[in-house]
Amino acid sequence: MMLTDYLPVYRLRLRTERLELRLPDLDDLVALADQAAAGVHDPSFMPFVQPWTEAEPLERGRATIQWQMRAIMTSTPEAWALPFVVVHDSLIIGLQEVSAKEYRATREGSTGSWLGLVHHGNGFGTEMRAAVLDFLFTGLGADYALSASFDGNGPSQGVSRKLGYREDGIDHRVLHGERRVDRRWRLSREDWEANREHEVAIEGLDDEVRAALGLGGDAEK
C-alpha cells in the first residue's frame, strides 16, 4: 500500500504557468517551516487573526509543521482542509489552503495563504490563489469562493479584487486589545469566469478524492 491509498487527497496536484501546489510530505514540511521561520510579512502589520508569526523563528516553524499535519489528519468529508505547499522552481515558497464545511450542500469553499517574505512582489499570490479557485470551480463545481483580510492588508485585498471578488461585509476582531476590521470577500462562479486569467491543470481528482471531500456520483462531477 501507498500513502495515497490511505489518504487519497495526496494524489492532488495543481499546476499553473509557474507553480505547483501539492500536499506536503515531511521534507516539504521542513522547507515550509524554514520559510515561516524566515518571515512571511512586514513586521509592522499583522495580517493574521491569530498572530502566530509573533513567536520566535524556531517556534514559528514548529507551529507551521503542527498546523499542517493537524489540518490534514483531522479532515473529514463534512469539514476538510487542503493546505497545499506552493512550489516554484523546485523551491517551496509558501502555503495556499482551501477548506470547506458541509461542501456537498453549501458549494462554497474558503481560502487562506501566506508567502515567504522574500517571494513577495512576484505575482505568486495571485497565481496560487487562482490555482485553488480553479480547483473549486472547475474541479468541485463550486458556486462561491470566500476569503477575508484585515483592512490595511493591501496585497491580499488587491489579489481578491483582481480575481473578481466582491466585498461581502465585515467582522470585528480584537488583536492586542484593539478592534480590527476583517473584511469578507465573495467570488461567484460568474465573476470568476469573467476574471479568469491563469490556466490550471488539476491532477489526481478521482472518485476517491471526491468522496474524501464530501462528493460522490456522476451527478456531482
Total number of domains in the chain: 1
Mean local confidence (pLDDT), 55-60: 93
Query: Which domain, by its residues, includes 111?
Result: 12-212
Mean local confidence (pLDDT), 61-86: 97
**What does the alpha-carbon distance between residue 208 and residue 212 come to, in Å, rounded to a whole number?**
6
Q: What totals of helices (H) and strands (E) does the chain contain, helices first?
A: 8, 9
**What does the alpha-carbon distance between residue 157 and residue 151 come to, in Å, rounded to a whole number?**
8
- The confidence score (pLDDT) of residue 42 equals 86
CATH number assigned to the domain comprising residue 36 = 3.40.630.30
> Please, what's the b/e burial string for 12-38 (b: 16 or more CB within 10 A of its CB; e: otherwise)?
bbbbbeebbbbbbeeebbebbbebbbe
Mean pLDDT for the chain overall: 94
Mean local confidence (pLDDT), 79-86: 98
Give the pLDDT band of residue 219 (cuts 50, 70, 90).
Answer: very low
**What does the alpha-carbon distance between residue 113 and residue 42 come to, in Å, rounded to a whole number?**
15
* Domain-embedded: residue 2: no
Give yes or no for a contact between 200 and 138, defined as CB atoms under 8 angstroms apart.
yes
Give the pLDDT band of residue 218 (cuts 50, 70, 90).
Answer: very low
Mean local confidence (pLDDT), 184-208: 97
Crossing angle, helix 57-73 and helix 26-38, to 10 degrees? 140
Query: What confidence tens digit (pLDDT) does each residue in 167-187 have?
Result: 999 999 998 899 999 999 999
* Domain-embedded: residue 219: no
* Domain-embedded: residue 6: no
- The confidence score (pLDDT) of residue 217 equals 54
Give the pLDDT band of residue 101 (cuts 50, 70, 90).
Answer: very high
Query: What confidence tens digit (pLDDT) does each residue in 23-47 have?
Result: 999 999 999 999 999 988 988 888 7
Give the pLDDT band of residue 53 (cuts 50, 70, 90).
Answer: confident
* Domain-embedded: residue 17: yes
221 pLDDT above the threshold of 80: no
The answer for residues whose C-beta is within 8 angstroms of residue 99's C-beta and 6 or more apart is: 71, 79, 80, 81, 82, 109, 110, 111, 112
Of 139 and 40, the structure prediction assigns the larger pLDDT to 139
* Domain-embedded: residue 7: no
* Domain-embedded: residue 220: no
* Domain-embedded: residue 142: yes
* Domain-embedded: residue 99: yes
**What does the alpha-carbon distance between residue 153 and residue 109 come to, in Å, rounded to a whole number?**
21
